[in-house]
Amino acid sequence: MKEYRKVATEAALKAGELLVKNLNKVKKVDHKGVVNLVTDVDRKSERLIHRILRSHFPNHSFFAEEEVREKTSSDYLWTIDPLDGTTNYAHGFPIFCVTISLLKKGEVIMGLTYNPMLGEMFYAEKGAGAFLNRRRIQISGTEDLNDSLLATGFPYDLRESEDNNLDYFCSFVMKAQAVRRAGSAALDLAYTACGRFDGFWEFKLGAWDIAAGCLLVEEAGGRVTNFKGRRVDLFTGEVLASNDTIHDQMLQIIRNTRKQTANRR
């Protein structure tokens, strides 16, 4: 396990260096949807990470956000988001990260999220705890949703789909102390793991967005489920993560909002 994390850390650090060096120098921005961007730097970062990981683990499978899709007979699968927070990055807004995880037979066994602007490396291994720059981290002790700082994001099809998180956002913003929307699900999960946020919810995400973060939250003592309180399926992208204490309160808000929305429709 140590070798996996060592190589992933090397890849994340080098990718982070590339991102910082090219911030405010984006030369090409393409649209994968109306508001879903991808830059030339996303692709360069992904190729760099993939090249480093593959040089050490050539038989593993790879599943990355932009281009890399390599399936082998191996039990091991790497997920890669080379730049989580692309819209922020394209506008020069310095909130973004690199996130990498390793799955074995579908279970996340190692994950890391690196914020190069702050030099913060969050990492976790299954059963070994969660860390920030070698310091063990844990979830917050907030007990009441009313006192909680939450985080979320909106799907890229929010203009086309009624299932766009606006209803949940309105419900939570009236029940929590505050809700933040920073633009990086991977960082939101890492910040939930270290207690900066008390809870996070979002859907229509990619496995590359949430795999590392889900492990971080669990290893930091938190709870991670889907919106029905069941085990998260990384490949459906629906996740509710919290410090555990407020988890049932968040689930109740989601249930109530879903019923209210269904009645209106």
**Are 127 and 159 in a shared domain?**
no
Q: Using the 8-state DSSP alphabet, how is residue 145 labeled?
A: G
The structural domain count of the chain equals 2
Are 128 and 158 members of one domain?
Answer: no
Looking at the structure, do residues 107 and 166 belong to the same domain, yes or no? no
Q: Are residues 156 and 127 in the same domain?
A: no
Q: Decide if 153 contacts 188 (C-beta within 8 A).
A: yes
42 in Cβ contact with 86 (< 8 Å): yes
- Domain span at residue 16 reads 2-136
Q: Is the same domain home to 17 and 132?
A: yes
- Report the CATH number at residue 86: 3.30.540.10
Q: Among 102, 136, 170, where does a domain finish?
A: 136
Domain boundary among 136, 160, 193: 136
Q: Domain boundary at 118, 136, 154, which?
A: 136
pLDDT on residue 33: 53
Give tens-digit pLDDT for 123-142. Answer: 999 999 999 999 999 999 99
Q: Is residue 8 located within the same domain as residue 129?
A: yes
131, 154: one domain: no
CATH number of the domain residue 167 falls in: 3.40.190.80
Residue 150 has, within 13 A of its CA and on its CB side, a CA count of: 31
Residues 86 and 61 in one domain: yes
Give tens-digit pLDDT for 170-219. Answer: 999 999 999 999 999 999 999 999 999 999 999 999 999 999 999 999 99
pTM: 0.94
Residue 13 sits in the same domain as residue 118: yes
The answer on 34 and 119 residing in a single domain is yes
Cβ neighbours of residue 248 closer than 8 Å, sequence gap 6 or more: none
- Cα dihedral sign, 137-21-29-12: negative
Length of the chain: 265
Same domain, 106 and 201: no
Contact 125, 131 (CB under 8 A): no
Closest CA to 144 of 200, 190, 198, 180: 198
- Return the CA Rg of the chain: 18
Strands (E), 22-117: 29-31, 37-39, 61-64, 69-70, 76-84, 97-104, 107-115
Residues 40 and 97 in one domain: yes
The pLDDT tens digits for 12-69 are 999 999 999 999 876 666 655 544 556 788 889 999 999 999 999 999 999 998 788 8
